[in-house]
C-alpha cells in the first residue's frame, strides 16, 4: 500500500483569499495545495451580477505582489476583476486543484483528513478561505413565507432584464442595495426598505479614501491613539456613477423598515400596505464553514472564534477572508493580503519551516 502524502498546508477555496495565501505560501518551504469546488478561476466574482463594479479604482483593489491593471472605466467591472484574479493564479503558478468539493474535515492523530468528492487529502494544517457567497442571509421578517411574489437574494440577482415594468422592493442599505436599486429603477417601479437611513459617502470619497482612512486608524490604534472614523464607515454607500445617476433621478429614497409581509406585498412600519411583484434581498451573507463542523463550533451564521486568523478551538486551523472577524477589511482584494501574510507567518512559525 502506498504511503499517504501529508501536506503542510491545505487551503480550501481559490478565490482572492485562497490565492493571497498561495502568494505567501509559494515563498516558503511549506508543501501546500489549494483546492476549489468551481470549474473556473475567479471565485465568487463569477456569481456576481453583470453590471457589478468595484468601489475602488484598480490600484486600490490589488492582491499582494501585482497591481490590478488599469480598468477601462474608473471603477473596475466584474469581468476585469475575474481576469485579474485568473491571471494572478497563473502568474504565480499557484498550485490549485479544481473542481474539488471539500465535504468534511476531521482530525486524525496530529493531522487533518480532508474528505472531498474525489480524493482524500491529509495535511498538518488547514486554511479555510471559502468566502460567503454560497450563504446568502435573509432576515427573519414576519410573514415573508406567505408572500406570493418572487424573492431573490442579491447573490442570485443577474440583472434587470426580467424586471421590466415590475413593482420591485429592494431591501438593504448597503452598496449592493444601492447599486441594484439604481439599475432596477430604470426599468421597473421600485421602493427601498432599510433598517436605518442609508448613509451616503461624499462624492469624492471612494474605496481608496476608505482604505487609507481605515489604515490610518489601524496604525493610530497600534500606537494607542484615538482616530475618528465616524465619517468614513466601510459599510457606507460609495457614490459610484450608477448610484450618482440614480440620485439625480431622485429614486434613492428609503421608505424605512418593513414590519411584515402579507400575500401580495409588505406592511411598512407606518402601517401602510404596499403590493409588490418581486422582493430583492440585499441583506448580506453568512459564512461558508459547514465543512469544518466536525472540528470546531460555529455560531448560527457560521462564524468561528479566532485570535487573528487562527481558530481558538483548533490551533492548526486558520480562517482567511471572511470579514472583520478574520482581519481588518479581509473580505476585500486590498485588505486580504495582510491577513494572508500573517497567517502564513503563523504557520511557518508553528510547523518550523522557512518563511
Q: Least CB distance from residue 203 to ligand FAD, whole Å?
A: 17
8 or 89: CB nearest ligand FAD? 89
Phi, psi dihedral angles at 297 (to 5 degrees): -95, 155
- Residue 328 is a binding residue for ligand FAD (CB under 6 A): no
- Residue 326 is a binding residue for ligand FAD (CB under 6 A): no
- Residue 61 is a binding residue for ligand FAD (CB under 6 A): yes
77 or 267: CB nearest ligand FAD? 77
One residue of 21, 32, 37, 89 binding ligand FAD per CB under 6 A: 37
- Residue 43 is a binding residue for ligand FAD (CB under 6 A): yes
Q: Least CB distance from residue 329 to ligand FAD, whole Å?
A: 8
One residue of 8, 17, 82, 191 binding ligand FAD per CB under 6 A: 17
Task: For the chain, give the secondary structure using H, E and C.
Answer: CCCCCEEEEEEECCCHHHHHHHHHHCCCCCCEEEECCCCCCCHHHHHCCCCCECCCCHHHCCECCECCCCCCCCCCEHHHHHHHHHHHHHHCCCCEECCCCEEEEEEECCEEEEEECCCEEEEEEEEECCCCCCCECCCCCCCHHHCCCEEEECCCCCCHHHHCCCEEEEECCCHHHHHHHHHHCCCCEEEEECCCCCCECCCCCCHHHHHHHHHHHHHHHHCCCCCCCHHHCCCCECCCHHHHHHHHCCCCCECCCEEEEECCEEEECCCCEEECCEEEECCCECCCCHHHCCCCCCCCCCCCCEECCEECCCCCEEECCCCHHHCCCCCCCCCHHHHHHHHHHHHHHHHCCCC
One residue of 213, 332, 339, 348 binding ligand FAD per CB under 6 A: 332
60 or 124: CB nearest ligand FAD? 60
One residue of 10, 168, 288, 304 binding ligand FAD per CB under 6 A: 288
Q: Least CB distance from residue 187 to ligand FAD, whole Å?
A: 19
Q: Which of residues 83-102 bind ligand FAD (CB under 6 A)?
A: 100-102
- Residue 58 is a binding residue for ligand FAD (CB under 6 A): no
Q: Which of residues 125-164 bind ligand FAD (CB under 6 A)?
A: 129-131, 133-134
- Residue 327 is a binding residue for ligand FAD (CB under 6 A): no
One residue of 36, 173, 206, 314 binding ligand FAD per CB under 6 A: 36
- Residue 175 is a binding residue for ligand FAD (CB under 6 A): yes
Site residues for ligand FAD per CB under 6 A: 12-18, 35-38, 43-45, 52, 54-56, 61, 100-102, 129-131, 133-134, 175-176, 207, 288, 291, 321, 331-333
Amino acid at each position: 500500500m502506498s504511503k499517504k502524502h501529508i501536506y503542510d498546508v491545505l487551503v480550501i477555496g481559490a478565490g482572492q483569499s485562497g490565492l493571497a495565501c498561495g502568494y505567501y505560501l509559494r515563498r516558503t518551504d511549506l508543501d501546500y495545495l489549494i483546492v476549489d469546488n468551481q470549474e473556473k478561476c475567479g471565485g465568487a466574482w463569477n456569481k456576481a451580477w453583470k453590471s457589478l463594479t468595484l468601489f475602488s479604482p484598480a490600484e486600490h483593489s490589488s492582491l499582494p505582489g501585482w497591481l490590478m491593471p488599469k480598468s477601462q472605466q474608473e471603477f473596475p467591472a466584474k469581468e476585469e476583476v475575474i481576469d485579474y484574479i485568473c491571471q494572478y493564479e497563473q502568474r504565480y503558478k499557484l498550485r490549485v486543484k479544481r473542481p474539488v468539493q471539500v465535504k468534511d474535515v476531521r482530525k486524525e492523530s496530529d493531522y487533518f483528513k480532508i474528505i472531498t468528492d474525489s480524493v482524500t487529502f491529509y495535511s498538518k494544517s488547514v486554511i479555510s478561505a471559502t468566502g460567503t457567497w454560497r450563504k446568502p442571509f435573509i432576515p427573519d421578517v414576519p410573514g415573508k413565507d406567505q408572500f406570493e411574489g418572487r424573492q431573490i437574494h442579491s447573490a442570485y440577482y443577474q440583472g434587470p432584464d426580467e424586471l421590466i415594468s415590475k413593482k420591485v422592493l429592494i431591501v438593504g442599505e448597503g452598496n449592493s442595495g444601492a447599486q441594484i436599486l439604481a439599475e432596477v429603477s430604470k426599468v421597473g417601479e421600485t421602493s427601498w426598505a432599510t433598517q436605518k437611513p442609508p448613509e451616503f459617502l461624499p462624492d469624492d470619497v471612494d474605496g481608496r479614501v476608505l482604505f487609507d482612512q481605515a489604515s490610518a486608524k489601524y496604525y493610530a490604534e497600534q500606537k494607542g491613539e484615538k482616530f475618528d472614523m465616524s465619517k468614513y464607515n466601510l459599510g457606507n454607500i460609495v457614490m459610484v456613477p450608477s448610484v450618482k445617476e440614480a440620485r439625480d433621478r431622485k429614486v434613492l429614497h428609503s421608505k424605512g423598515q418593513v414590519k411584515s409581509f402579507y400575500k401580495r406585498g409588505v406592511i411598512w412600519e407606518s402601517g401602510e400596505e404596499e403590493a409588490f411583484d418581486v422582493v430583492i434581498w440585499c441583506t448580506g451573507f453568512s459564512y461558508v464553514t459547514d465543512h469544518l463542523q466536525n472540528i470546531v463550533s460555529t455560531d448560527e451564521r457560521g462564524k468561528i472564534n479566532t485570535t487573528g486568523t487562527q481558530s481558538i478551538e483548533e490551533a492548526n486551523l486558520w480562517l482567511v477572508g471572511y470579514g472583520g472577524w478574520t482581519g481588518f477589511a479581509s473580505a476585500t482584494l486590498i485588505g486580504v493580503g495582510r491577513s494572508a501574510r500573517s497567517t502564513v507567518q503563523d504557520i511557518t512559525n508553528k510547523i518550523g519551516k522557512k518563511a
